[in-house]
Structure 1
């Protein structure tokens, strides 16, 4: 690593501070929106509070990830506690789906039996929610030059949330000007779709990680081809296992090579290639001079449709 350790720590502290602030703002207003939604009878506000819950949760996971990344691995948890945030994200995604179903169900009831909605209370709280979102987004976005995935994801969440607040404001304006209350459940369903979208994405990502799936952005056949192309000594790459712990990709692979003069130098070049091109810092490489005899070595070759003629 080029920079000193203290620098990355102060950066982490800065990230943690931003996330903490944004979390405090979002969580506070979520509570206010729930209370406001119950008082005014507005479902759109409650749906937006559900959306804010997704934000608060995203911010909390990001914060936990920063904290847990600091805890050193031990003999029992050799990767540290990074997976805990993945598990939390999974639970959060399921909770969001449940919230969405409840809100849509309630909206359908309201189409059948319209409820009175206090437009003034609703608009005041919706506008306050919008301001809270803008504030949280500003807090996070100042940190965007730091390419922390969690902080970026949280900022995107908050941006999606702005739409929810706008929806609640539109519903309030319509109710105040025309008195047409069905606009409230209609917009609450729209906001619920937003919530469902982020929940679905979260569910996909966390399940992929919990099932030891390869990071979606990485193409293993492509990695194998590039490695053979870039390093002339490398004849064949097989038995590749790639997975993700927290945000860190981890890889194990067998590499059949032409016997090198300097074994360690070649190993170093393979590691550098993986780190440089694929940002994989944690690689376990088994170098072989003969074709691999292991029965399971050709698993990858058989199941991957891309690797027919590339050797």
Structure 2
């Protein structure tokens, strides 16, 4: 039976507009930072501009993926297109890791080959970037970061870039006051580790879904025990669980029993107690154990 999945914790039309605005302001910010980096001589500012450009890309990909994911099932995609968002998460988490590694490389290169830097330009441009980063993070959070790992990946892009902007402001201030270039290296490495860590977490989560691994929050032994007790099932032969996306769980259940089982009731029980959206159930008479 088809179910209506239009229920949502966020107004998607409104949040799509918020995401579109976030893309536009991040592109404008990237241009501003590149210009500021060229005039100030700050490589870290240009590196931060690259990070902002990746933010715009991540949000745009998340927006397109959600549009695709909302398409209904058809004759070729029987489960619909919801995994488009998981593919987007996989891509965005991979870019988080690559950007984190690049920023570490860039910080080390800047330290080994120091160049004169205009600290005031760095501070002012980074301050503008921070305001925009926080505004963009707010927009992506409101767009559903708590309810979608696809949007969450874009949100983490924004948070990490806001942290990077803070670091650039601090580094620029210390350059103005003390010419302490080492601070830029240390702070950039710390932020990069943070970015890489969250990128790996999202990569693992999306990878598990695409590999059809069992959901972390569902215990197959608990399901077997619960339905055996509830419906007097003699034997649960096998349970296979997988996720369609980061919200919907599906299962394939094989049971052996000598009595007639109310299969819709079993499905309803699994839905209400274990958040299983739908389950394919096969029943086997115990007398047929020796059958091939």
Matched, 1:244 2:243: yes
Residue 67 of structure 1, CA deviation: 0.7
- The aligned residue for residue 283 of structure 2 is 287
Residue 278 of structure 1, CA deviation: 2.6
CA RMSD of aligned residues (A): 3.4
- The aligned residue for residue 40 of structure 2 is 40
For 2:63 and 2:54, the matched residues in 1 are separated by: 14
For 1:210 and 1:127, the matched residues in 2 are separated by: 39
Residue 208 of structure 1, CA deviation: 1.4
8 Å Cα contact 2:69-2:85 kept in structure 1: no
Q: How does 1:210-229 map to 2 (within 5 A)?
A: 210-229=210-229
TM-score of the superposition, structure 1-length normalised? 0.77
8 Å Cα contact 1:228-1:237 kept in structure 2: yes
- The aligned residue for residue 263 of structure 2 is 267
8 Å Cα contact 2:213-2:241 kept in structure 1: yes
- The aligned residue for residue 59 of structure 2 is 59
Matched, 1:276 2:272: yes
Change (3 A) 1:136 1:221: same
Identify unmatched segments of 5+ residues in structure 1: 297-311
Residue 131 of structure 1, CA deviation: 0.7
Q: How does 1:176-195 map to 2 (within 5 A)?
A: 176-195=176-195
- The aligned residue for residue 94 of structure 1 is 94
Residue 254 of structure 1, CA deviation: 1.1
- The aligned residue for residue 202 of structure 1 is 202
Identify unmatched segments of 5+ residues in structure 2: none
8 Å Cα contact 1:274-1:280 kept in structure 2: yes
Change (3 A) 1:147 1:205: closer
Residue 9 of structure 1, CA deviation: 11
Residue 258 of structure 1, CA deviation: 5.0
Partner of 2:78, secondary structure, is: coil
Partner of 2:11, secondary structure, is: helix
- The aligned residue for residue 25 of structure 2 is 25
For 1:143 and 1:87, the matched residues in 2 are separated by: 18
Change (3 A) 1:84 1:147: closer
For 2:75 and 2:290, the matched residues in 1 are separated by: 29
